[in-house]
């Protein structure tokens, strides 16, 4: 049973509504809690207002409005300004590896040969209190230079010379951290992850000229970027860092944000180093934002490649916008991962990654993401061959014309019975793993995380709730198909040793609830959050 603990800070308590986890005593000190409580009291009300603004906009979009560039910020888009100079250690970011904040993976990622390692509290971490606090402890040890690990098989891990530069991705503004309450309210997950990391590591990283650096996910407007800027200015003052010391890269991974890229760069101009094409969440957001638009229903997931018009124009406009402002345009993640036991299938997967990276470097991206250490060399070879300079800030892409219609362009393609069943299986397996504490898993040799699984989940909902959506053979898509596929997948997976196998029944109930609900839930991670310890 959970024993609430209370620590007094000023007039109000901060309550840890969780059973103690081992890292708690080290990471959640009284001083760290005071720092978090202060962030909450200063910034949480604004966060809630911005989340309410998201909901209000969706009501207008559901009534037929389309996203567009903002008239009130035209002067920012037209103005001639640049972001602040980018630190020397970040000038060359050709390959960045990402991964959850697991101790062994942090060491492997730092040793991977990538220029940057993004330690992820978002898409690839299921935010159990233990995962979060262990992750903070692991990162603190990594920053202090003392991270080591010995596996149950006796293999020893330690960080080698010339490790990747660390960046941390806190959770998005929408996620609460229910284990820490301030004045009776759950904290924001963003403020919790950012605040704890900054409190323990900002001074050390700044003194070493290695940070602190952050990746900021899932924003939907420049006002949300301005909130991050205010949070960081305050944290810099409170921790004795100069203003602008905290640097950020922002993921453009929501449809509304693509219309505010200049404004986001501007709101963070003293600290932003680039934008990143978070393609998976972007596809999810396209579906979610345009859920009511029958002519913009996407084909099955496998047909939504980066070459389809709405994705091509988004990535190219991102490059043009960034380079005009002196900021890096980072590429994104190919979902393929190595297939150890099958050389031919492995070569086919690596060829897909290579093709994706080639498209990115030729388009003008300054670097890219990989999901696995074995892919670092694959991506690096492509960027080394086609990007002899540390970056491509000189590639201006003035040829790119991305107006609203191109950014929202409908996509051609089909929905097959197999594509529908694949979405059911992916959702079920991912949800089962997630509620069991694993935020990223391989499924059919593809990386699946909270962003990729959301595409499958949102597609199922839209195909079933949008009248007139049909399979490629002309038959109607109905709940009978969903029920049959879910029952079959549930039975099949319940008998395997997949991650989260013991939670398959619970995951099936959750998927059933999410898919049958009249309204599309904002995020599966919000709906499922209560099931995490």
Residues that bind Mg ion (CB under 5 A): 123, 253, 278, 281, 451
Between CA 416 and CA 488 the distance in angstroms is: 17
Among 206, 292, 280, which Cα is nearest to 247's?
Answer: 206
Contact track, ligand LL5AMS7Z, 110-139, x by CB under 6 A? -------------x----------------
Query: E strands, 374-514, where?
Result: 441-443, 446-448
Between CA 372 and CA 368 the distance in angstroms is: 13
Stretch that binds ligand LL5AMS7Z, among 34-42, 175-183, 235-243, 275-283 (CB under 6 A): 275-283
Starting at the edge strand found earlier in the chain, the sheet holding 185-188 runs 5-9, 12-16, 176-182, 185-188
Between CA 218 and CA 224 the distance in angstroms is: 10
Contact track, ligand ACO, 422-451, x by CB under 6 A? ------------------xxx----x-x-x
Query: E strands, 196-346, where?
Result: 213-216, 247-252, 272-277, 328-333
Backbone angles phi, psi at 336, to 5 degrees: -70, 140
The site partner of 371 among ligand LL5AMS7Z, Mg ion, ligand ACO, none (C-beta below 5 to 8 Å per kind) is ligand ACO
Site residue total, ligand LL5AMS7Z (CB under 6 A): 10
Burial of 390 (0-12, 13-18, 19+ CB in 10 A): middle
Q: Pick from 96, 123, 356, 366: which binds ligand ACO (CB under 6 A)?
A: 123
User: From the CB of 306, what's the least distance to ligand LL5AMS7Z, in Å?
Assistant: 11
Q: For ligand LL5AMS7Z, which is the closer residue by CB, 253 or 262?
A: 253
Residue 408, SS3 per DSSP: coil
Backbone angles phi, psi at 285, to 5 degrees: -65, -35
Between CA 214 and CA 195 the distance in angstroms is: 12
User: From the CB of 2, what's the least distance to ligand ACO, in Å?
Assistant: 29
Residue 126, SS3 per DSSP: coil
- Does 291 participate in catalysis according to the annotation? no
**332-371 positions binding ligand LL5AMS7Z, by CB under 6 A:** 332-333
Contact track, ligand LL5AMS7Z, 438-457, x by CB under 6 A? -------------x------
Check 44, 141, 281, 449 and give the catalytic one: 449
Q: For ligand LL5AMS7Z, which is the closer residue by CB, 172 or 186?
A: 172
Q: Is residue 251 close enough to count as binding ligand LL5AMS7Z by CB under 6 A?
A: yes
C-alpha torsion sign, points 491, 494, 500, 505: positive
Q: Is residue 280 close enough to count as binding ligand LL5AMS7Z by CB under 6 A?
A: yes
Q: Note whether 21 and 133 are within 8 A (CB).
A: yes
Q: Is residue 205 close enough to count as binding ligand ACO by CB under 6 A?
A: no
Q: Are strands 176-182 and 12-16 parallel, antiparallel or unpaired?
A: antiparallel
Between CA 443 and CA 429 the distance in angstroms is: 8
User: From the CB of 189, what's the least distance to Mg ion, in Å?
Assistant: 14
Between CA 46 and CA 42 the distance in angstroms is: 8
User: From the CB of 423, what's the least distance to Mg ion, in Å?
Assistant: 18
Q: For ligand LL5AMS7Z, which is the closer residue by CB, 24 or 285?
A: 285
Check 94, 103, 140, 169 and give the catalytic one: 169
Q: Note whether 236 and 242 are within 8 A (CB).
A: yes
Q: Pick from 18, 24, 98, 391: which binds ligand ACO (CB under 6 A)?
A: 98
Stretch that binds ligand ACO, among 42-50, 82-90, 289-297, 330-338 (CB under 6 A): 330-338
Site residue total, ligand ACO (CB under 6 A): 25
- Does 342 participate in catalysis according to the annotation? no
Q: Note whether 159 and 142 are within 8 A (CB).
A: yes
Tokens read off for 122: 């978002």
User: From the CB of 331, what's the least distance to ligand ACO, in Å?
Assistant: 12
Contact track, ligand LL5AMS7Z, 37-76, x by CB under 6 A? ----------------------------------------
Residues labelled as active-site residues: 169, 449
Binding site for ligand LL5AMS7Z (CB under 6 A): 123, 251, 253, 278-281, 332-333, 451
């Amino acid at each position: 049973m959970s024993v609430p603990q209370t620590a007094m800070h000023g007039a109000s308590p901060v309550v840890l509504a969780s059973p103690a986890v081992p890292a708690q005593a080290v990471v959640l000190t009284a001083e760290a809690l005071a720092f978090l409580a202060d962030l909450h009291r200063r910034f949480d009300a604004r966060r809630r207002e911005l989340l309410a603004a998201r909901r209000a906009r969706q009501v207008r979009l559901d009534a037929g409005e389309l996203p567009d560039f903002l008239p009130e910020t035209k002067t920012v888009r037209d103005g001639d300004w640049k972001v602040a100079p980018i630190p020397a250690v970040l000038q060359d970011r050709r390959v960045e590896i990402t991964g959850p904040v697991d101790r062994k993976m942090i060491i492997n990622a730092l040793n991977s040969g990538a220029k940057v390692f993004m330690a992820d509290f978002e898409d690839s971490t299921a935010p159990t209190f233990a995962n979060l606090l262990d992750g903070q402890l692991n990162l603190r040890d990594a920053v202090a230079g003392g991270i080591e690990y010995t596996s149950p098989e006796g293999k020893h891990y330690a960080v080698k010379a010339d490790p990747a530069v660390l960046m941390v991705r806190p959770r998005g503004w929408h996620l609460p951290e229910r284990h820490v309450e301030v004045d009776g309210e759950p904290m924001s997950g963003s403020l919790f992850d950012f605040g704890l990391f900054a409190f323990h590591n900002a001074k050390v990283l700044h003194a070493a000229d290695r940070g602190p650096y952050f990746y900021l996910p899932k924003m939907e407007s420049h006002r949300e970027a301005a909130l991050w800027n205010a949070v960081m200015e305050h944290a810099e003052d409170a921790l004795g860092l100069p203003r602008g010391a905290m640097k950020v890269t922002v993921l453009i991974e929501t449809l509304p944000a693509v219309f505010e890229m200049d404004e986001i760069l501007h709101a963070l101009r003293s600290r932003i180093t680039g934008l990143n094409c978070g393609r998976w969440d972007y596809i999810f957001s396209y579906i979610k934002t345009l859920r009511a638009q029958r002519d913009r229903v996407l084909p099955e997931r496998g047909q939504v490649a980066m070459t389809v018009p709405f994705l091509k124009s988004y990535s190219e406009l991102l490059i043009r916008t960034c380079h005009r402002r002196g900021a890096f345009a980072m590429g994104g993640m190919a979902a393929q991962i190595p297939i150890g036991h099958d050389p031919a299938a492995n070569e086919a997967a690596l060829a897909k990654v290579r093709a994706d990276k080639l498209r990115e470097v030729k388009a003008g991206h300054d670097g890219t993401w990989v999901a696995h250490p074995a892919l670092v060399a694959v991506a690096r070879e492509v960027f080394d061959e086609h990007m002899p300079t540390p970056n491509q800030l000189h590639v201006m892409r003035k040829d790119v014309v991305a107006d609203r219609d191109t950014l929202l362009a409908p996509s051609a393609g089909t929905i097959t019975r197999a594509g529908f069943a694949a979405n059911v299986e992916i959702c079920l397996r991912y949800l089962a793993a997630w509620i069991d504490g694993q935020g990223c898993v391989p499924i059919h040799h593809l990386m699946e995380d909270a962003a990729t699984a959301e595409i499958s989940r949102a597609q199922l909902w839209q195909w079933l709730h949008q009248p007139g959506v049909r399979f490629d053979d002309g038959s109607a898509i109905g709940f009978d198909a969903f029920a049959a596929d879910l029952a079959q997948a549930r039975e099949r997976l319940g008998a395997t040793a997949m991650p989260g196998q013991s939670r398959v029944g619970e995951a099936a109930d959750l998927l059933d609830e999410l898919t049958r609900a009249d309204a599309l839930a904002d995020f599966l991670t919000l709906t499922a959050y209560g099931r995490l310890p």
